[in-house]
């Protein structure tokens, strides 16, 4: 070993020793208990398998060699229940912390939760089917429903959210948040697992949409890119956990791009239209059209001279930005 290699080994060992010493400071980031937490790769695999159960003809897998629907579904559902219950057992034990529940009891509880969850899949599929229909009817650019299922980020994000929401209702910690954050990372759409969303939900384009945890959304709601359904303030920190701090959107509401609707007391009445870039912190009654008065635009030619545009027809208000 030459002098350079020897020096390199010494330096690497020194870095290792320094990091091990730093891990011993007892901070939250210092934990080394890797096996007491759910496995992100398993959760991602579960999402893929659940999507096969939601869309059986679209998400295929050559792992299972059964050539009839019943046999294929039986093996797939058993796979989902087995792996999901293992991850639930981990998070329940993790959430219990110092209580150290009985291992057999925890295993039985986790299995029952997983079984209850897969029993809810027909309900989830009912809602997803309405989302697909709303997307097809609401987007003239869609050639067919196959294109929506295979390509549209909005349907992907809302489907994963609906699955995660059922686990949330079953009081499963952490795993549903991992699911929605996976969808967020893939689509740029951030829907909290706690949000309650009705049927026929359509997110057009989708990128940048944020839906907070205590948001309630009715049926036939259409939301465009960049919309925020958020809280007025989070300065209260954990004291606000569980408090209704995000808006309620009633049935048949359309919210155009860039709009922000904030606050737990804010209710957007049914059949309302919220224009692009509107900023709302107060409720509006049913049938309201919220628009922004035209901004003053200035036009200059290449020499910097102002061009009069009085002959160009512009409305008094605008709200479309798609």
Go through the domains of the chain in sequence order and give each one's CATH number: 34-188 (1.10.3130.10), 195-322 (2.160.10.10)
Q: What is the DSSP string of 204-222?
A: ES-TT-EE-TT-EE-SS-E
User: Above 80 in pLDDT, residue 22?
Assistant: yes
Q: How many CB atoms lie within 10 A of CB 316?
A: 7
Q: Are 221 and 253 in contact (CB under 8 A)?
A: yes
pLDDT: which is higher, 224 or 311: 224
> Looking at residues 54-63, what average pLDDT do you find?
79
pLDDT band at 63 (very low <50, low <70, confident <90, very high): low
> ∠ CA(75), CA(76), CA(79), 5° rounding?
85
Mean pLDDT value across residues 133-157: 97
Q: Give residue 37's pLDDT.
A: 82
**pLDDT score of 240 more than 60:** yes
**193 neighbors 207 (Cβ within 8 angstroms):** no
In this model, does residue 294 exceed pLDDT 90? Answer: no
Mean local confidence (pLDDT), 57-84: 81
Give the pLDDT of residue 136: 98
Place 97 in a pLDDT band, splitting at 50, 70 and 90: low
Distance of CA 149 to the CA centre of its chain: 17
Mean pLDDT of 230-250: 84
- The whole-number pLDDT of residue 308 equals 79
Question: Which pLDDT value is given to residue 129?
Answer: 97
pLDDT number for residue 28: 82
Confidence of residue 316 (pLDDT cuts 50, 70, 90): low
**If you average pLDDT over residues 166-173, what whole number do you get?**
97
Q: How confident is the model at residue 94 (pLDDT cuts 50, 70, 90)?
A: confident
Q: Is the pLDDT of residue 193 over 80?
A: yes
- Determine phi and psi for 114, rounding to 5 degrees: -60, -40
CB atoms within 10 A of CB 81: 17
In the prediction, which pLDDT does 3 show?
58
In this predicted structure, what is the pLDDT of residue 11? 83
More confident residue, 123 or 4: 123
State percent of the chain over pLDDT 70. Answer: 87
The pLDDT value given to residue 93: 85
Mean local confidence (pLDDT), 18-32: 87
The rounded mean pLDDT for the chain is: 89
Angle between helices 121-138 and 153-169 (to 10 degrees): 150
What is the pLDDT at residue 189? Answer: 98
State residue 304's pLDDT score: 86
* pLDDT, average across residues 36-46: 92
Cα–Cα distance for residue pair 320/254, rounded to 1 Å: 11
Q: What is the mean pLDDT of residues 187-201?
A: 98
Q: Give the pLDDT score at 320.
A: 58
Query: Has residue 2 got a pLDDT over 70?
Result: no
């Amino acid at each position: 070993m030459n002098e350079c290699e020897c020096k390199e080994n010494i330096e690497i060992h020194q870095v290792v020793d320094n990091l091990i010493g730093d891990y011993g400071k007892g901070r939250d980031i210092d934990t080394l208990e890797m096996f007491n937490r759910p496995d992100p790769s398993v959760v991602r695999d579960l999402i893929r398998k659940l999507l096969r159960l939601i869309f059986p003809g679209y998400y295929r897998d050559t792992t299972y060699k059964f050539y009839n629907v019943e046999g294929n579904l039986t093996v797939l559902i058993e796979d989902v229940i087995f792996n999901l219950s293992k991850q639930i057992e981990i998070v329940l034990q993790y959430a219990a912390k110092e209580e150290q529940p009985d291992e057999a009891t925890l295993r039985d509880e986790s299995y029952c939760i997983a079984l209850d969850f897969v029993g809810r899949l027909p309900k989830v599929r009912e809602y997803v089917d309405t989302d697909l229909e709303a997307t097809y009817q609401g987007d003239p650019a869609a050639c067919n429903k196959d294109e929506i299922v295979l390509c549209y980020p909005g349907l992907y994000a809302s489907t994963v959210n609906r699955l995660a929401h059922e686990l949330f209702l079953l009081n499963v910690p952490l795993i549903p948040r991992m699911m929605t954050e996976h969808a967020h990372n893939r689509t740029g759409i951030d829907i909290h697992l706690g949000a309650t969303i009705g049927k026929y939900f359509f997110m057009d384009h989708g990128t940048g949409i944020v839906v907070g945890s205590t948001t309630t959304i009715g049926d036939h709601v259409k939301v465009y890119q960049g919309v925020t359904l958020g809280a007025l303030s989070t300065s209260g920190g954990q004291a606000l956990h569980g408090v209704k701090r995000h808006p309620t959107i009633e049935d048949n509401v359309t919210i155009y791009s860039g709009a922000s609707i904030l606050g737990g007391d804010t209710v957007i009445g049914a059949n309302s239209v919220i224009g692009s870039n509107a900023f709302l912190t107060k409720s509006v009654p049913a049938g309201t059209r919220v628009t922004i008065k035209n901004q003053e635009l200035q036009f200059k030619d290449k020499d910097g001279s102002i061009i009069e545009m009085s002959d160009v027809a512009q409305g008094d208000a605008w709200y479309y930005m798609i």
